[in-house]
Amino acid sequence: MEKILVIIRREYLQRVRTRAFLIGTILTPALLLVLSLLPVLVATRGSGPRKIVVLDEGGGQGLFESIKDNVKSAKTGGAIELTRVAVPDTENVDEMRKMLEAEPEAASTSGYLVLRRGILDSPNCNYYSQNPSDFVTNEALQHALKDAVIQGRMARAGIDKERSSNMMSPIDLETIKIGPEGETKESGQTFGIAFVMLFFIYMTILMYGISTMRGVIEEKQSRIVEVVVSSIKPFHMLMGKLIGIGLVGLTQYLIWVLTAVGFTVLGVSVAARMNFSMPSIPPSLLVYFVLFFILGYFLFATLYALVGSMVSTEDEAQQLQLPVTFLIILPMMIFLIVVREPNSPLATVISMVPFFAPTLMLMRIAIINPPLWQILLSILLMLGSIVGVVWIASKIYRITILMYGKKPTLAELGRWLRYA
Percent of the chain scoring above 90 in pLDDT:
5
Strand-pair partners of 178: 183
pLDDT tens readout for residues 277-332:
555 567 788 888 888 988 988 888 888 888 877 777 777 777 788 888 898 889 88
Number of Cβ within 10 Å of residue 112's Cβ equals 22
Least confident of 163-167, 277-281, 367-371: 277-281
**Mutual angle of helices 357-367 and 189-222, in 10-degree steps:** 160
Model pLDDT, residue 376: 93
| Most confident of the following: 44-48, 184-188, 253-257 | 253-257
Query: What does the domain layout of the chain look like in residue ranges?
Result: 48-170, 184-419
Instruction: List, as one string, the DSSP characters of 59-78.
Output: --TTHHHHHHHHHHHS--SS
Residue type, 410: L
Q: Summarize pLDDT for 195-244 with one digit per residue, the tens.
A: 777 888 888 888 888 888 887 777 776 666 666 666 777 777 778 878 88
Q: What is the CA radius of gyration of the chain?
A: 31
Closest CA to 353 of 276, 309, 295: 295
For 399-412, how does the pLDDT look when each residue is reduced to its tens digit (9 = 90+)?
777 666 666 666 77
Q: How many helices (H) and strands (E) does the chain have?
A: 17, 6
One of 3.30.2010, 3.40.190, 3.40.50, 1.20.120 is the CATH number of 48-170, namely 3.40.190
What pLDDT, on a 0 to 100 scale, did the predictor assign at position 274? 47
Q: What pLDDT digit, counting tens, does each position of 169-199 carry?
A: 666 666 666 656 555 665 556 667 777 778 8
Tens digit of pLDDT for each residue in 101-138?
A: 888 777 778 888 888 777 777 766 788 887 777 777 77
